[in-house]
């Protein structure tokens, strides 16, 4: 069963979809889910939600403010702390839904939001379980690695130029999420396969996806890190899924963040022969990740 929902986050209307298990006779646990860089709720998340619902667990998928069906300007602005607050307001929403057991709330994230859920879980005592999938854990190190020395310098020059334009009164510019020829077009994530996979997803599942963000979003990404918060995850069960072939969010950085987590109940799942983008394009890879996470939810949220 699916239900359209909405909630206010800092005065901006956010919209989502609530998946409820059929035939539930008592309030169920819930997984609050949102996406990564430029994601809308139709990208990959429904697959995981359908798997978790089969465990008798509800799922809330939502669009952050400025993206997808949600409201707010400027469009395609990706502010990680605003998105983290949107997560917390989504948690506040599910607390009010009669079919949900407010004592059993999990947060799930992928890529950029894989980092967000670590921060949400560290800060919000209502979170009882954390599921982080191929997370961004350090924006500066991540972008420096994927761009290389020269392109990273150009990226930082573009960010600085945009800051000066905004100071002078401009609305600020936009930058592609990725590009088919990253040597010719500056993009946040300079991988042709990111461009190919996300444009296929836009055509098949997610027509509201826009393959760009504000340049200011990149500046915020460069300041983003989960490391100060990872050590605060002490008594909340935490699973991190990483891909051994991940050259986008760098699984060694992810493992370093995982090792900072103090929780006794934590698990690292390393997927061999899997890349960052194959978790979007290869159903068999999604199945492995979803099955591992469903088992974790069975153990810690039911």
pLDDT digits (tens, 9 = 90+) for 159-168: 999 999 999 9
What is the chain's length?
302
Tokens of 262: 């103090």
Tell whether the model's pLDDT for residue 215 goes beyond 90: yes
pLDDT digits (tens, 9 = 90+) for 12-43: 999 999 999 998 888 999 999 999 999 999 99
Architecture category of domain 2-137+226-300 in CATH: 3-Layer(aba) Sandwich (3.40)
pLDDT digits (tens, 9 = 90+) for 63-95: 999 999 999 999 999 999 999 999 999 999 999
Cβ neighbours for 267, distance < 8 A, ≥ 6 positions apart? 238, 239, 240, 296
Q: pLDDT-derived band of residue 205, with 50, 70 and 90 as boundaries? A: very high
Q: pLDDT-derived band of residue 139, with 50, 70 and 90 as boundaries? A: very high
CA gap 112, 117 in Å, rounded: 9
Cβ proximity of 42 and 206 under 8 Å: yes
**Other beta carbons less than 10 A from residue 275's beta carbon:** 19
CA 86 to chain centre: 12
With tokens 């949600």, the residue in question is 70
Q: What does the DSSP assignment read for 187-221?
A: -SS--HHHHHHHHHHHHHT-TT--SEEEHHHHHHH
CA gap 242, 239 in Å, rounded: 10
Going from N- to C-terminal start, the domains of the chain cover: 2-137+226-300, 142-214
pLDDT at 23: 84
As beta bridge partners, residue 13 has: 8
Mean pLDDT (the chain, rounded): 96
Tell whether the model's pLDDT for residue 302 goes beyond 80: no
With CA atoms as reference, report the closest residue to 108 among 223, 8, 29: 29
**Other beta carbons less than 10 A from residue 245's beta carbon:** 14
pLDDT digits (tens, 9 = 90+) for 56-65: 999 999 999 9
């Amino acid at each position: 069963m699916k239900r359209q929902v909405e909630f206010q986050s800092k005065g901006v209307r956010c919209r989502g979809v609530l998946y409820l298990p059929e035939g539930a006779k008592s309030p169920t646990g819930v997984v609050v889910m949102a996406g990564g860089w430029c994601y809308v709720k139709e990208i990959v998340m429904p697959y995981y939600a359908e798997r978790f619902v089969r465990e008798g667990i509800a799922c809330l998928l939502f669009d952050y403010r400025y993206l997808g069906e949600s409201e707010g300007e400027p469009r395609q602005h990706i502010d990680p702390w605003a998105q983290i607050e949107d997560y917390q307001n989504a948690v506040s929403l599910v607390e009010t839904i009669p079919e949900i057991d407010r004592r059993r709330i999990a947060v799930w994230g992928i890529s950029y939001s894989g980092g967000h859920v670590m921060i949400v879980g560290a800060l919000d005592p209502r979170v009882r379980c954390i599921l982080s999938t191929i997370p961004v854990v350090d924006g500066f190190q991540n972008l420096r690695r994927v761009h290389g020395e020269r392109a990273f310098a150009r990226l930082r020059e573009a960010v600085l130029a945009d800051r000066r334009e905004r100071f002078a009164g401009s609305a600020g510019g936009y930058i592609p999420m990725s590009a088919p020829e990253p040597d010719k077009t500056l993009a946040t994530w300079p991988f042709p396969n990111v461009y190919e996979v996300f444009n296929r997803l836009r055509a098949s599942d997610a027509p509201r996806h826009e393959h760009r963000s504000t340049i200011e979003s990149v500046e915020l990404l460069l300041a983003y890190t989960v490391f100060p918060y990872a050590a605060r995850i002490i008594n909340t069960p935490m699973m991190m899924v990483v891909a051994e072939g991940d050259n986008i969010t760098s699984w060694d950085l992810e493992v370093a963040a995982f090792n900072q987590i103090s929780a006794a109940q934590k698990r690292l799942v390393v997927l061999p022969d899997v890349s960052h983008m194959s978790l979007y394009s290869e159903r068999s890879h999604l199945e492995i990740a979803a099955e591992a996470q469903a088992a974790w939810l069975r153990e810690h949220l039911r």
